[in-house]
Structure 1
Amino acid sequence: MTLALDGGAPVRAKPWPSWPPPLDPAQRALVTEVLESGRWGASQGGEVGSRFVTALAGMAGVPYGVGVANATLGLFAALRGLGVGPGDEVIVPAYTFVASAASVILAGATPVIVDVDPSDLHLAAGAVEAAVTGRTAAIMPVHLAGSPADLDALAAVAVRHGLRIVEDAAQAHGATYRGRPVGGLGDAGVFSFQSSKAMTAGEGGAVVCRDESAYEAIWSVCNLGRTRGGRWYDHPELGWNLRMTELQAALLLPWLDRLEAEIERREAFCAALDLDGLPVSAVPRPPGTTRDSRHLLMLRLDPGVDKQRVLTAMAAEGVPLSAGYPPLGALPALAEQGLTRAGECPAAEQAARSVVWLTQPMLMADPVEAVDVTAAFRKVLG
């Protein structure tokens, strides 16, 4: 069978679903209500934002939530609210988005880049333990691709050393670990609502937490140092305006009602793939995963397979793949900061060479359309 790259017919000419999807009726009604109210900002007395963060926190199994402009600022606010700042170190995984490290730098602390588990590509407790120093203040596990990091093992390390845990749950809306929802398992959890995410308002984020004092501190960071219930122009602490708008919340609140069905749809698409006998396989989920939100399906190419050729050939067949992350420590902007790496990061480097992603728009197609992905892989790799 002739590859599309060589002039053959592509496996698929039909476009994949667009993302974000069109507004549903509940979103349209709530957005219209907020627009017509004139109360578009979080400081104008609107109630949609507070309803949303309360509902999101409930989904994460905790009582408190703070809406923010984006998840990078959410991670920053969580760190600062938990007392992490200049002179501190925060352990972050070597295979993650740049924002995980950038938020630490924004908080005045130093990211310590630790290699990931070579199988599931998440932070592993043993590597974290080895990276702890007298300056370590927090661990930032990333629930990569929608699958939870092994939180119990990481929490044991945190307890032994008196460390905070800030969960980067940007890709993991609705995921569960040993039956417990992510975001509420550490000292704070942060979700993203950027355009590519499972719930999106174009931009936006939220911090959720269990402890009231942590909530008060994080809320203050996001509200220019005010205290809840205090006078408007009193600013006992230094803070920033990091608030989510009412319009963002109006897009997101109705989404909570359909999130579970969308997770099930993505899971069904992944289950329908048939890659048996091919030099590619799904990256396994970490121990303890009871629900993967399937923001991405990470696939690992066998040794010797040319990743760039696969990316180019699959795109020509109408099945575009993402190349995924480079190793975090290799990014020039971070390397210039003189960041600490806890040894070499061969697992992250190998992932950059061999791992490709099926992204969320594709996974939101009808599961019967997974046959196109299977056919394209068989054509390119068979």
Structure 2
Amino acid sequence: MSKVRELVEAAALRGIFALPRPARRLIAGRPIRLDGQELALDAQLLLKLQKLSGQEQLSAPTPELAREGMRRATRLLTTSPVNGVVAADRTIPTENGELPARLYRPRELTTTSPLLVFFHGGGWVIGDLNSHDDVCRFLAKHAGIRVLSVGYRLAPEFRFPAALDDSLAAYRYAVDNAAELGTSRDSIAVGGDSAGGNLATSVALHATRSELADPVFQLLIYPTADGTTRRRSRELFGNGFLLTDADMTWFIDHYQPEVELRADPRLSVLLAEDLSGLPPAYVATAGFDPLRDEGEEYAQRLADSGVPVISRRFEDLIHGFINARQVAPRFQEALFEIVGALRAGLSLRKS
């Protein structure tokens, strides 16, 4: 019965977004303008519908309830898989056990290609391979590359630095097994969204300071960069824009409950003393996102350290927009732009 209900809700959601613009504006309400930005109608309508459904934030009384909430949202938002993409589940052996992973490639891609090792978002507490399956399929197809999505261990069952340890192990696995994965050691990039963006750039930083082969590119989508400081965007957008101030506290409390240890640069990459030598990066932020300012400050730190970086603010969007690209055109437009940046960044890699 719950499955039928979800199908009905998903159809209703798409029906509302298919209404004429005046009708969608009527449902969404008056335009929201804040900090010199106007929220996209698609984003405002999605937020309004979430409010009406009673799901206004990502956290919950327990981690499992929050995880189920994300699983349910995924089922509502992504109803049809990207065509022309082959996906294969696999496991990655590590010192702490096997990690679930999923390798994607465009069906027509039979030769070697760059590989993006992707870490999903979810505050290190929620999210999994399925929550970002649509995103990874989209990136693989439209960037014309392979994508290896990694299911790292989640907090609070496994606290910091477990997720990072797993991410490093997965990146090392990709480097050591490049040929079997359809790529080469000098064609591997890292990427992720939110907490996954944090893990991706932490992996890149570790690789440049160790014997590991450096990633050729970083794709950082509204990344978490500092667990120690409340910035202006967190005050401005901490309520009513999907990711809330309370969510952020809930996530970090589960991942690293010891406040004095949150300045560890493996977690708060913005606080690393030296960021020089990191791979070129594309840092996407959303205008109505509590994480906006720390992501943009991290991009500036990279630039100041001599790292080639493009910092792109999607000023009319909210945190999590890449997961809603099937629902409304504005989200997909933004994801297409991100794909373009990924293609461009990979085309500049060393031969």
TM-score, normalised to structure 1's length? 0.28
Q: Which has the larger radius of gyration?
A: 1
Q: Which has the higher contact order (CA 8 A, sep 6+)?
A: 1
TM-score, normalised to structure 2's length? 0.30
